[in-house]
Amino acid sequence: MLELIDVAKSFGPTRALAPLSLEIRPRKTTVLIGPSGCGKSTLIGLMNGLIRPDRGSVLFDSTAVTAANSALIRRRMGYVIQDGGLFPHLDAGANVTLMARHIGWPKAKIEARLEELADLTRFPRDALARYPVQLSGGQRQRVSLMRGLMLDPEILLLDEPLGALDPMIRSELQTDLKAVFEALNKTVVLVTHDIGEAGFFADVIVLMREGAIVQTGTLRDLVDSPADPFVTRFINAQRAPFDALRGGPQ
Amino acid sequence: MTRSPPLVAIALLAWLLAGSLAAGAAEPPAPEVRIGSKKFTESVVLGEIALHLTRSAKVRAVHLRELGGTRILWNALLKGEIDIYPEYTGTLRQEILSGLDIRTADALERALADRGLRASRPLGFNNTYALGMLPAMADRLGVEKISDLVRHPGLKFGFSNEFIDRGDGWPSLRRRYGLPQAEVRGLDHDLAYRGLMGGGIDVIDLYATDAEIAYYGLTVLTDDLRHFPAYDAVYLYRADLTARAPGAVAALLRLEGRIGQAAMTAMNAEVKLKGVAETKVAARFLAKTLGLDVTAPVEGFFARLWRRTVEHLTLVAISLSAAIVLSIPLGVIAARRRTLGQVILAVVGVIQTIPSLALLVFMIPLLGIGGPPAIVALFLYSLLPIVRGTYTGLHDIPLPIRTSAEALGLAPAARLRLVELPMASRAILSGIKTSAVINIGTATLGALIGAGGYGQPILTGIRLDDVNLILEGAVPAALLALIVQGMFELAERLLVPKGLRLSADS
Where do the domains of chain B lie, and which CATH numbers do they carry?
7-25+301-505 (1.10.3720.10), 33-126+231-290 (3.40.190.10), 129-220 (3.40.190.120)
Whether residue B60 contacts residue B29, with contact meaning beta carbons closer than 8 Å, is answered with yes
For the stretch B262-316, pLDDT in tens is: 889 889 888 888 878 888 899 999 988 888 887 766 777 888 888 888 888 888 9
- How close is the nearest chain B Cα to the Cα of A209, in Å? 25
Binning pLDDT at 50, 70 and 90, where does residue B374 land?
confident
Residue B3: its chain A contacts at CB < 8 A? 94, 101
Q: How big is chain A by its Cα radius of gyration, in Å?
A: 19
Q: Which residues, numbered 356 to 415 in chain B, qualify as contacts with chain A under a Cβ-Cβ cut-off of 8 Å?
A: 400-401, 403-411, 414
Residue A134 lies in a domain: yes
Residue A132: its chain B contacts at CB < 8 A? 499, 503
What average pLDDT does the segment B66-75 reach? 85
- The total domain count for chain A is 2
For residue B4, the model assigns a pLDDT of: 44
For the stretch A228-241, pLDDT in tens is: 899 999 988 877 77
The one-letter amino acid code at A50 reads: L
Residue that wins the pLDDT comparison between B504 and A236: A236
Residue B497: its chain A contacts at CB < 8 A? 89-90
Chain A interface, best mutation among B404, B419, B494, B498, by max A CB count within 10 A: B404
Between strands A204-209 and A212-217, the pairing is antiparallel
For the stretch A75-84, pLDDT in tens is: 999 999 888 8
Residue A238 lies in a domain: yes
ipTM: 0.89
**Are residues A93 and A69 located together in one domain of the fold?**
no
Binning pLDDT at 50, 70 and 90, where does residue A154 land?
very high
Whether residue B47 contacts residue B450, with contact meaning beta carbons closer than 8 Å, is answered with no
For residue B190, the model assigns a pLDDT of: 76
Of A61-65, A217-221, B69-73, the one with minimum mean pLDDT is B69-73
CA distance A161 to A157: 9
**Are residues A16 and A65 located together in one domain of the fold?**
yes
Residue A113 lies in a domain: yes
Residue B13 has pLDDT above 80, yes or no: no
For the stretch B183-209, pLDDT in tens is: 888 888 878 888 888 888 899 998 888
Binning pLDDT at 50, 70 and 90, where does residue B29 land?
low
CA distance B98 to B194: 32
Residue A53 has pLDDT above 70, yes or no: yes
Q: Is the dihedral of CA B156, B159, B163, B168 positive or negative?
A: negative
Residue A192 lies in a domain: no
> What region does B476 belong to: left with phi over 0, alpha with psi -120 to 50, or beta?
alpha
Residue range(s) defining the domain that contains residue A142: 87-153
**Are residues A69 and A92 located together in one domain of the fold?**
no
Element (H, E) at A23: strand A14-24
Distance of CA B356 to the CA centre of its chain: 11
Q: What is the CATH number of the domain that holds A30?
A: 3.40.50.300
Q: How big is chain B by its Cα radius of gyration, in Å?
A: 27
Continuous H helices in B83-134: 89-91, 105-114
**Are residues A120 and A100 located together in one domain of the fold?**
yes
Q: Tell me which residue of B483, B467, B468, B470 sits closest to B444, measured CA to CA.
A: B470
The one-letter amino acid code at B107 reads: A
For A145, phi then psi, to 5°, come to -65, -45
**Are residues A100 and A50 located together in one domain of the fold?**
no
Residue B21 has pLDDT above 80, yes or no: no
For residue B3, the model assigns a pLDDT of: 43
Residue A164 lies in a domain: no
Determine whether the interchain pair B404/A131 forms a contact, defined as Cβ–Cβ distance below 8 Å: no
Binning pLDDT at 50, 70 and 90, where does residue B469 land?
confident
Residue A14 lies in a domain: yes
For residue B1, the model assigns a pLDDT of: 40
Cα–Cα distance list, B59 to A241, B34, B77, B121, B242 (Å)? 100, 10, 19, 22, 13
B408 → closest Cβ in A74, A83, A91: A74
The one-letter amino acid code at A36 reads: S
Binning pLDDT at 50, 70 and 90, where does residue B2 land?
very low
Of A201-205, B105-109, B296-300, B385-389, the one with minimum mean pLDDT is B296-300
**Are residues A11 and A37 located together in one domain of the fold?**
yes
Residue A223 has pLDDT above 50, yes or no: yes
Residue B405: its chain A contacts at CB < 8 A? 87
Determine whether the interchain pair B403/A81 forms a contact, defined as Cβ–Cβ distance below 8 Å: yes
What average pLDDT does the segment B322-329 reach? 93
Residue A4 lies in a domain: yes
**Are residues A65 and A111 located together in one domain of the fold?**
no
**Are residues A106 and A127 located together in one domain of the fold?**
yes
Residue B27 has pLDDT above 70, yes or no: no
Q: Compute the mean pLDDT over every residue in chain A, rounded to the nearest whole number.
A: 90
**Are residues A95 and A62 located together in one domain of the fold?**
no
Q: Tell me which residue of A81, A78, A47, A40 sits closest to A64, measured CA to CA.
A: A47
For residue B7, the model assigns a pLDDT of: 55
Determine whether the interchain pair B1/A81 forms a contact, defined as Cβ–Cβ distance below 8 Å: no
Residue A81: its chain B contacts at CB < 8 A? 400, 403-404, 407
Residue A250 has pLDDT above 80, yes or no: no
Model pTM above 0.80: no
Residue A35 lies in a domain: yes
Residue B402 has pLDDT above 80, yes or no: yes
Chain A to chain B Cβ contacts (< 8 Å): 89
**Are residues A1 and A59 located together in one domain of the fold?**
yes
What average pLDDT does the segment B113-130 reach? 90
- Four-point Cα dihedral B443, B444, B448, B450, nearest 10: 70
Q: What angle do CA B482, B487, B490 make, to 5 degrees?
A: 130
The one-letter amino acid code at B273 reads: L
Residue A124 has pLDDT above 90, yes or no: yes
Chain B interface, best mutation among A51, A77, A80, A87, by max B CB count within 10 A: A87
CA distance B394 to B51: 54
What average pLDDT does the segment A38-45 reach? 90
Residue that wins the pLDDT comparison between B28 and B321: B321
- How close is the nearest chain B Cα to the Cα of A112, in Å? 13
The one-letter amino acid code at A4 reads: L
Q: Tell me which residue of B154, B175, B172 sits closest to B163, measured CA to CA.
A: B172
For residue B5, the model assigns a pLDDT of: 47
Determine whether the interchain pair B410/A99 forms a contact, defined as Cβ–Cβ distance below 8 Å: yes
Determine whether the interchain pair A88/B407 forms a contact, defined as Cβ–Cβ distance below 8 Å: no
A111: nearest CA partner in chain B: B1
A153: nearest CA partner in chain B: B408
Whether residue B317 contacts residue B453, with contact meaning beta carbons closer than 8 Å, is answered with no
**Are residues A1 and A73 located together in one domain of the fold?**
yes
For residue B434, the model assigns a pLDDT of: 93
- Four-point Cα dihedral A115, A120, A126, A132, nearest 10: -110
Residue B506: its chain A contacts at CB < 8 A? 133
Give the count of beta carbons closer than 10 Å to the beta carbon of residue B276.
Answer: 14
Cα–Cα distance list, A81 to A101, A179, A209, B404 (Å)? 22, 19, 21, 8
**Are residues A71 and A91 located together in one domain of the fold?**
no
Residue A245 has pLDDT above 90, yes or no: no
Cα–Cα distance list, B193 to B134, B210, B267, B455 (Å)? 10, 11, 18, 23
B400: nearest CA partner in chain A: A85
